[in-house]
Amino acid sequence: MTEAYFAESTIDWAAVELPDAWPDRLDWSRPTTAFRLLRRAMSRSRERVTLPDGLPGADRISKYILQEFHNLPNGNYSKHISAGYARGFDRAMLGTMAAGRARVARALAGATRVIDLGCGGGHLAGVLKASGVPEVLGLDPSPYLLQFAAKAYPGIRWVQGMAERTGLPDASVDGAAICFLLHEVPPKYLEEVLAELRRIVRPGGRLAVLEPSPVQWRLSWWPVIRGHGWRGAYFKWLSLSVFEPFLDPWHRQPFAERLAAHGFQVEADEVGCPFRYVQAVREGAPAVVPSPC
Ligand SMILES: C[S@@+](CC[C@H](N)C(=O)[O-])C[C@H]1O[C@@H](n2cnc3c(N)ncnc32)[C@H](O)[C@@H]1O
């Protein structure tokens, strides 16, 4: 079952013709377009995301993510805005993502098949591949982000789907990487994501998770500035300004305990600014690989 799944040919997301979403149909040569979108992004009221007719896999996308996360007009569902987001995210994080992703890649060194859940524009999957992991998969619900990722990072298997129902066979990966996904998942579905991780990561396999830190969310201004300087203040401002509907419940739940309840032994739980990094091993004896002779 596992080998059959991985032998299947996959969609070449780089070549798929995606339909224009409403932001793609705007006249970008008019200066008023950028102004209107900026005003919409800054406004406190948020619209629902509208998926254009003919979007591949639209029925696989859960309703709870069809919101304008990060104040993006139509969220992650258009060619223009998704590409801008995939390029701009690291800049908005002041270049800190490179060190965070390198940390995740170090934890998964030696793995042979790793999935990057919520891969977005594919930057973490790209780092994993460059670090020497032979087989890397990137999974995300947004076809627009998958297309960006597939063009930017060839040699990776891109899969459209939700982290709570990946479609992967049981115990089929020996590493799972997560970068800034779980704080976007509502508590009920987070439970499903953890159950899915338990199912797809083989015993002895490793999970490495990078998420926003509670430091910039929970601490008030002065302690953040005292502990983390102007960068801490910037990340606090960012966390208060950007639309993240499930950020507060994410920071309130005992993530490490929940991981343990799902059969992961927590090896590290480091809280800094702007990241929290958690690393865990899937409990149970690794499967014995039969010797060829
Ligand atoms: C903040 S972005 C992070 C992207 C990428 N991991 C990175 O570090 O650049 C969050 C990503 O998670 C995806 N996402 C949100 N909910 C998801 C879910 N339930 N399953 C899989 N991906 C999801 C979004 O489409 C988006 O691409």
Q: What is the CATH number of the domain that holds 267?
A: 3.40.50.150
Same domain? For 243 and 162 the reply is yes
Same domain? For 172 and 54 the reply is no
Model pLDDT, residue 293:
44
In a domain, residue 1? The reply is: no
Task: Report whether pLDDT(288) > 90.
Answer: no
In a domain, residue 181? The reply is: yes
Average pLDDT over every residue of 256-261: 97
Q: What percent of the chain shows pLDDT beyond 90? A: 85
Ligand 1 binding pocket includes 185 (Cβ within 6 Å): yes
Model pLDDT, residue 287:
54
Model pLDDT, residue 41:
76
Q: Which domain does 30 fall in, by range?
A: 18-92
Which of 28, 62, 92 terminates a domain? The answer is 92
In a domain, residue 75? The reply is: yes
Model pLDDT, residue 121:
98
Which of 92, 119, 144 terminates a domain? The answer is 92
- The tokens for 198 are 């338990």
Task: Report whether pLDDT(45) > 80.
Answer: no
Atom of ligand 1 nearest to the CA of 123: 9
Ligand 1: which of 69, 147, 184 to mutate, judged by most atoms within 8 Å of the beta carbon? 184
Query: What's the distance, Cα to Cα, between the start and end of the chain in Å?
Result: 23
Same domain? For 120 and 26 the reply is no
Average pLDDT over every residue of 174-189: 97
Model pLDDT, residue 137:
98
Ligand 1: which of 140, 159, 210, 277 to mutate, judged by most atoms within 8 Å of the beta carbon? 140
Q: pTM score, two decimals? A: 0.94
Number of domains in the chain: 2
